[in-house]
Structure 1
Amino acid sequence: MADVRHNWTLEEISEIYHKPLMELVFEAATMHRKYHDPKEVQVSSLISIKTGGCPEDCAYCPQAARYHTDVKVHKLMEVEEVRAQAESAKANGASRMCLGAAWREVRDNKDFDKVLDMVKTVNSMDMEVCCTLGMVSEEQAKRLADAGLFAYNHNIDTSEAFYDDIISTREYDDRLKTIDNVRKAKISVCSGGIIGMGESAEDRMGMLLTLANMDQHPESVPVNALVPVEGTPLAEQPRVAAHELIRMIATARLVMPASVVRLSAGREGMSLTEQALCFMAGANSIFAGDKLLTTPNPDFNDDKEMFDLLGLQPREAFKEVKKETEVEA
């Protein structure tokens, strides 16, 4: 694990990020093969278990109550509905089910109890369960872990320097504190960010610097391209070019070689060839299913055809846990 470092400088990351694209992709592909099976891609599915009405002001998010978007507010789903969707996703090759709720933070109430039941239900199906519920305390994270939660998603979104341009209703340190609480509960961390919000290249590198210098790298690093939504402050932002996403994925792969790098939001607008270059550059996880919370995404059949054409295969659930168990045995 000599390539895994936690003491990167912005200058070092900049040197990687600004390499000629073909050279960068080659180096990232080489590193990817050192730490991962290049044929394997983790397939995750995402359910919006509680949609809309969020009190925060994240400029990219159509679920914020203060913005006028087409998103309809829906109360927390029932456990059996989540079970049915998880069964469908698993039948289509998903090994991880992510449950997302448009909350600022978790509250200790009946809704949280219901989410814990959802976690137990999906966990019993031999699927990895991930939640993204906003901020969590150390005790709440422990309750999620006790229920069988495998991973918790809490993106840092962007660099600390650009963060206040995007969100004012919580601090950057609040995000880092939630990640720390999740770590203390021994839950796998899923944390990345979004490009295309008007940030500079230095902001993109700054976001990677924060993640790469954590005491333990996030096990999963989602790289999202902004999907502009009418009614949000970022509605007029131009879509990110594919080469920018490829460059970001390749840089993430080189500074966090052992992490799973997820090609997340924005994939719906990419050609198969562009997605193939993302996989070449080190992406080894996707979201599958026709929606990512409230934005469009390629459906399962499209992804199956892409996997067949590119010679990719879905990664099995709990692979790292099983590997560790075999080593101990």
Structure 2
Amino acid sequence: MDAWIELMQIPVKVKKTSKMKVQKTTRHDWSKEEIRGIHDQPLMSLVFEAASVHRQWHAPEQVELCTLLSIKTGGCPEDCSYCPQAARYHTDVNVQTLLPTETVLQHAKKAKIAGATRFCMGAAWREVRDNRDFDRVIEMVKGINEMDMEVCCTLGMLTENQAIRLKEAGLHAYNHNLDTSEQYYDQIISTRKFDDRISTINNVRRAGITVCSGGIIGLGESIDDRISMLATLATMEKHPESVPVNALVRVKGTPLEKNSRINIWEMVRMIATARIIMPASKVRLSAGRAEMSETEQAWCFMAGANSIFTGEDSKLLTTPNPTTAGDLSMLTNLGLKPMRKVH
């Protein structure tokens, strides 16, 4: 026994080895069959895989806080079936012309104080026109950029020259969602084509602006449509830096007002699948959060979501959204913290 004790007390020299660097690469050749296989696997296995990928690519405790402000509201000529800002639908949205530049800058300052690192501006336009309103948006972008915040815009269709002007003003990102699959697109929107969406995204890329592009579930689409939409994003030459996953907000007066509420597990599956096939992207839990419990949102964060929209006026453009105070309380409860801007 004494000999055994002496043996246990002999210091063991452990050979130090250098830490192996994990090679992180993204794939851009996903097939729809592969994506469907990921999406359809048992839920616990799917979430575990997504959470593992998330930890390889991101700080798992950090969540990006973004604020989205409607700088021009309602009166849009498009016929997007889900949108309360379409002029042809009778909703409670009041038409508001482009906000004064100083008003927008004040909103941005408040958002930064509240912890947001990205300020997004949305205008209910079909497309950007080269006029005084666009000149004013350029000034807004410059002003917010000078606050050391990331600036994002969603203004509708955009030419390459317009994208270049925004880039020169300091725009960091441009949001242009696919909404749904190419095959289902004309069931939701008839005033533009799916290819118009792709053209704008390409113009944004050529200008050197990062891309924010995702979609909406709950429009009446099939699982195959959801997979097709994800495949379009995941097979782009460069994945969108931000991928918003939205649940339809059913607004009275729109054609989709009677659609059923999306099941939380459908959201979790979409977020987890997006995280696995586009590992470097931020996956944003976007519209529909106001109808989700804290527990339901926690599942989405476990599945790889690491970005949310938050704001002082409880609005996501014109639809309900949790308050900043509520979001900060939730993050604290879940052991999460706001992401800091990376210089």
TM-score relative to the length of structure 2: 0.92
Equivalent residue, structure 1, for 2:115: 93
Aligned residue runs from structure 1 range 11-50, under 5 A: 11-50=33-72
Show structure 1 runs of 5+ residues with no match. Answer: 323-329
Rounded to whole Å, the distance in 1 between the matches of 2:111 and 2:323 is 11
Show structure 2 runs of 5+ residues with no match. Answer: 1-22
1:143 aligns with 2:165: yes
Letter in 1 for 2:242: S
Residues 103-159 of structure 1 show CA distances to partners (whole Å, capped at 9, x for unaligned) of 000000000000000001111111100000000000000000000000000000000
1:77 aligns with 2:77: no
Equivalenced residue count is 319
The counterpart of 2:187, out of the listed 120, 144, 165, is 165
Please give the secondary structure, in 2, of the residue aligned with 1:48. Answer: strand
Rounded to whole Å, the distance in 2 between the matches of 1:132 and 1:235 is 24
Equivalent residue, structure 2, for 1:325: none
Please give the secondary structure, in 1, of the residue aligned with 2:52. Answer: helix
User: Once the 2 structures are TM-superposed, how far is the Cα of residue 212 of structure 1 from its aligned partner?
Assistant: 0.1
1:304 aligns with 2:304: no
Equivalent residue, structure 1, for 2:32: 10
Rounded to whole Å, the distance in 2 between the matches of 1:50 and 1:266 is 21
Residues 55-78 of structure 1 show CA distances to partners (whole Å, capped at 9, x for unaligned) of 000000000000010000000001
1:262 aligns with 2:289: no
User: Once the 2 structures are TM-superposed, how far is the Cα of residue 3 of structure 1 from its aligned partner?
Assistant: 4.5
Please give the secondary structure, in 1, of the residue aligned with 2:290. Answer: helix
Residues 20-44 of structure 1 show CA distances to partners (whole Å, capped at 9, x for unaligned) of 1111000000000000000111100
Letter in 1 for 2:248: L
Of all paired residues, the percent bearing the same amino acid is 64
User: Once the 2 structures are TM-superposed, how far is the Cα of residue 199 of structure 1 from its aligned partner?
Assistant: 0.3
The counterpart of 1:108, out of the listed 114, 130, 133, is 130
Letter in 2 for 1:74: Q
Between 95-104 and 81-90, the greater mean CA deviation after superposition: 81-90
Rounded to whole Å, the distance in 1 between the matches of 2:197 and 2:219 is 18
Rounded to whole Å, the distance in 2 between the matches of 1:113 and 1:152 is 17
Letter in 1 for 2:265: H
1:63 aligns with 2:65: no
User: Once the 2 structures are TM-superposed, how far is the Cα of residue 316 of structure 1 from its aligned partner?
Assistant: 1.5
Letter in 2 for 1:297: N
Aligned residue runs from structure 1 range 76-225, under 5 A: 76-225=98-247
TM-score relative to the length of structure 1: 0.96
Rounded to whole Å, the distance in 1 between the matches of 2:332 and 2:28 is 36
The counterpart of 1:291, out of the listed 292, 310, 315, is 315
Between 296-305 and 308-317, the greater mean CA deviation after superposition: 308-317
